[in-house]
Amino acid sequence: MSAQSIKSAAARGVRWNGLATALRVGFLTLRMVVLARLLGQRDFGLASMVGVVLGYAQAYVDLGLSSALIQKQEQDPERLSTIFWLNLLAGVLSGGLLFALQTPVALLFKEPALVDLIAVSALQLPLVALGQQFEALFQRDLRFKLIAVVQIGADAVNTALAFVLALRGHGAWALVLGTLAGAALNSLGLFALGVRHWPVRFAFRPSQIKPHLRFGAYQLANVNVGYLTSNLDTIIIGRYLGTEAVGVYSLAQRVTQLPRRYINPVIAKVAFPVFARQNRDKARIAESLLSLQRSLSHLNAPLIVGLCVVAPLLVPFVYGEKWRDAVPLVQLLCAVALLGGVAGPTQIVRTALGHVRFNFHWTWSTGILHGLAMWAAASSGLMAIVLARSLLGFVLGIAMIAITLRFLDTGFTRFLYTLRTPALAALLMTAGVVGVLHLPVALSDVARLLLAIAVGAAVYIGISLWLDREFLQRSVRLLLGREGRPKPTAATQPAEGAPEP
């Protein structure tokens, strides 16, 4: 594909990813708001513990081969079939192993209720294995429309089932079974669509996919260690502080990670296959990375900084007074979320360049540091654990950005210069919102919250358009598919009086 066709395909991918993500965020927000009022902190804590264990096991289903398919642009039918059967085998084995370990996991968290929840959740692993390769292949070919349609349907089922079960008093089962149903529908839908484009053969020749397995081995190790590292906080909090503390922390995490989990992947999922096609041109990747970080900062900065400032009013209003204890955690985690939104694309670049070995060694070494810091803080309570995690994560995130820029022969100063407008706009927005929150006028909490959000949005949009109008207009044109279209000329316009096509 030419550079222009790749750009156009990427823009279409962002549009479809954006639509799917907007609806998914809507479903997620609706689930969180309703279920936070129907369920207790213990229910959220149990579901969060199940999610940690299930997410860790799910990495073994993929074996790192989805990234290998994209990075290596694999097309051979026999190799694709071999990878499919290998993933399915891994899904069955992982599900069986998780089922067998249900009791030890419950003992680890000191929570007997986890036994049955984990046993049922283990069914998700072989089901996910059916569709994950086809999701990677659609992503590789920048065909995000099909992925979006399937994901939207799956999220709708997840939300509906969770509401029904919560209303009938099934507690944590509402969260767990809703997730299981959504994952099953998503995977089966991708499988049904994928086999039409890439029919599965009865071929299993592992010797033909040795390069994929080598790449996947480091990717799998990196994902596993990374997942364990990013969830050590939940494990340590559950082990030392109990299920209710996990529930409060879980809500704070879900709120602050909305941009990283749902908004950033709109662009990031498209960026990986694009970077993979450019992996021999560091200058182009560096330019694309900085442009991507600039775009993500314009999305993340107002959302995360605004959330941090209005959290004392927003959290109790949206989720209920029983979640007020989560407010200081939300504010602290916002700092990590803001940096994560900027640093996230750097891992995509390193993977596209083939630096999976470096990713693995970085992940396990920093994981040890995170674990030690949080373990040392555990005796001082929940806030101390979150503070230790946040401070260390912020320092390591800055270091990771600098190292990735070195891979691309790009300076850190250029990176900071790229983010100057989002940073200034967010700073001025904060001043405006704080001013509204402290107005010496008798207003209800809801009215003050809505006024603060309106003022903050107006300030951020105004400053951004004033200082970064050209970049934002170009980004919108690209997103709408209008970038690069030739302007009409005398040769292309119909003659006067001629019928228009």
Question: Hey, CA dihedral for 325, 228, 14, 129, is it positive or negative?
Answer: negative
- What would the two tokens of residue 432 be? 């405006």
Q: Is residue 61 within 8 Å of 87, Cβ to Cβ? A: yes
Q: How many residues does the chain have?
A: 501
Place of tokens 């085998």: 89
Mind listing the pLDDT tens digit for each residue in 115-164? 999 999 999 999 988 888 888 888 777 777 788 888 888 989 999 999 99
Largest CA distance in the chain: 84
Rounded CA separation 260/337 (Å):
7
The pLDDT, as a whole number, for residue 484 is 46
Rounded CA separation 448/440 (Å):
11
Q: Is residue 492 within 8 Å of 469, Cβ to Cβ? A: no
Rounded CA separation 456/464 (Å):
12
- Containing H/E element for 29? helix 3-38
Please state whether the predicted TM-score (pTM) of the whole model is above 0.75: no
Residues 271-288, mean pLDDT to the nearest whole number: 68
Higher pLDDT among residues 447 and 52, named by residue: 447
- What would the two tokens of residue 38 be? 């129907």
Residues 425-441, mean pLDDT to the nearest whole number: 92
Spatial neighbors of 376 by CB under 8 A, at least 6 apart, are: 388
DSSP state at residue 271: H
What does 191-236 look like in DSSP terms, one character per residue? Answer: HHHHHHHSPPPS---GGGGHHHHHHHHHHHHHHHHHHHHHTHHHHH
Q: Does residue 498 surpass a pLDDT of 90?
A: no
Rounded CA separation 96/110 (Å):
22
Rounded CA separation 493/491 (Å):
6
The pLDDT, as a whole number, for residue 458 is 95
